[in-house]
Amino acid sequence: MNRKEQIKSAYKGLGGEKNFYDGMITCSTLLGRAVCGLVWNMDAEKNANYLAQALSAIPEDFSGKMLEVPVGTGVLTMPIYEALPNADKICLDYSADMMARAQRKAAQRKIKNIQFQQGDVGALPFAEQSFDLVLSLNGFHAFPDKKAAYNEIFRVLKPGGTFCGCFYVQGENRRTDYFVKHFYTPKGWFTPPYETVASLRERLNKMYAAVNLTTVEAMACFSCKKDEA
């Protein structure tokens, strides 16, 4: 199963695990498609496109040690992990409820070599240079201390390791910016300040090598490498 097929697998959901969040993040339910279109100006094709870009830096035969933070409900990554039986996967989230959903998805798919741990991205409970790859999907726009999150991810990543993922950036879609400012931020779902494409590119270039950054509407998709030295 290739990466796009794995993403499509995430869209199907798993029985009782279907919920509003999963439907919205995958643009796969009637209400989810409405939110994707109204807030994010995305249809299912655009949604699949940005997710494929965000996950494209994970080799399909990856067998190293990786960290996903936050794992959320696991709707996006459990189909990917199912196809990576030799990878050592650690999934961390601050929300025990979200992580419990991800754990159930992993159990239903009988995923091997996976651990779940509750924790804070601003104070990761791992030693320096522990991971070959760190994945962060839709997290940085919510993290309250973004500087600490960037620094902690850099700290636990091995030299030559990959940092990749996606999140909301300001200034790419006026409609999305409006909803983030007047709805998502007051609700506490997103936390300012928000990156722009320019500020994110500058930050990643200062910290990493081989930075690749693209956008689909207001979602920035990125991958970069930590210097070998």
Fold of 3-225: Rossmann fold (3.40.50)
Amino acid symbol at 124 = L
The string of pLDDT tens digits covering residues 138-165 is 999 999 999 999 999 999 999 999 999 9
Residue ranges per structural domain of the chain:
3-225
Characterise 163 by phi-psi region: left (phi > 0), alpha (psi -120 to 50), beta (else). beta
The model's pTM is: 0.91
Q: Provide the 8-state DSSP code for 166.
A: E
The string of pLDDT tens digits covering residues 58-89 is 999 999 999 999 999 999 999 999 999 999 99
Task: Name beta bridge partners: 92.
Answer: 117
